[in-house]
Every structure is written in structure tokens, then in C-alpha cells.
Structure 1
């Protein structure tokens, strides 16, 4: 099914264009820490999603 990877592809596209340093990371632990910060502090709490009427995932979950 061609839609199987659509969600992850969109997530990584957003991560790479909005958050990831242009020159990448020096160490794995630096990347791991930054990815967690992106997901927990930006993607879920500050970034609106069209699927949720431009509410953040956290706000949409609390409204349900």
C-alpha cells in the first residue's frame, strides 16, 4: 500500500526542514537528544496540524 509510509515521511520532512541543523550532528547522543526535544517540546505542543484543525496534537488529545 503506497500510503503506509506517508505519515513518517511527512514527519521526517518537517523535522529536517524545521529543526535539524544544516550540517547534521557531531555525535549520536546529540541527535538523540535533539530528536526527543523536537517531538516532545515542539511537534506535539507548539506545531499545529491541519488534520487537527491546526491544533497541536497535545491540545487535540485533551479536547477529545
Structure 2
């Protein structure tokens, strides 16, 4: 969480702040709900935003089998 807020403050919020609470809410909501999760490259994910699916990531066979076995009975 702290890293998210650091990124928000250092990358997004204007130095002079916002002219209104409404503007701040809209702008920060966009950053959190759209830009940060869907567009912004993340170093931890090799530059991939966290909301994008990972290429080559397949199903875990153990979990698939466990799910099938529980639902077959």
C-alpha cells in the first residue's frame, strides 16, 4: 500500500494540488482504477500492469484436478 501511495504522490498529484475536491476525486480515481492497474508498467511484473493477464500463464493442474474432484461428487 505504501508504494502505491508513494507512486500516486510522486507521479500523479500536481505539486500545487487540485483546485477542488471534485477534481481531486476524479483525477485520483482515474489513476487508481485505470492508469495504475491497467496502463502503468510495474517493475515487479517485468513491466506488465497488474490487471493485464500474464502471457504463458496456464492453469495449475493440481488445482484443476481438485476443483473437478470436488464438483464431480
With the length of structure 1 as denominator, give the TM-score of the two structures: 0.70
Number of equivalences: 55
Rg: which structure is higher? Answer: 2
CA distance in 1, matches of 2:5, 2:38: 17
Q: What 5-or-longer segments of structure 2 have no aligned partner? A: 58-73
Query: Which has the bigger relative contact order, CA under 8 A and spacing at least 6?
Result: 1
Give RMSD over aligned pairs: 1.5
Q: Which residue of 2 aligns with 1:11?
A: 4
Stretches (4+) displaced over 4 A: none
> Which consecutive unaligned segments of at least 5 residues does structure 1 have?
1-7
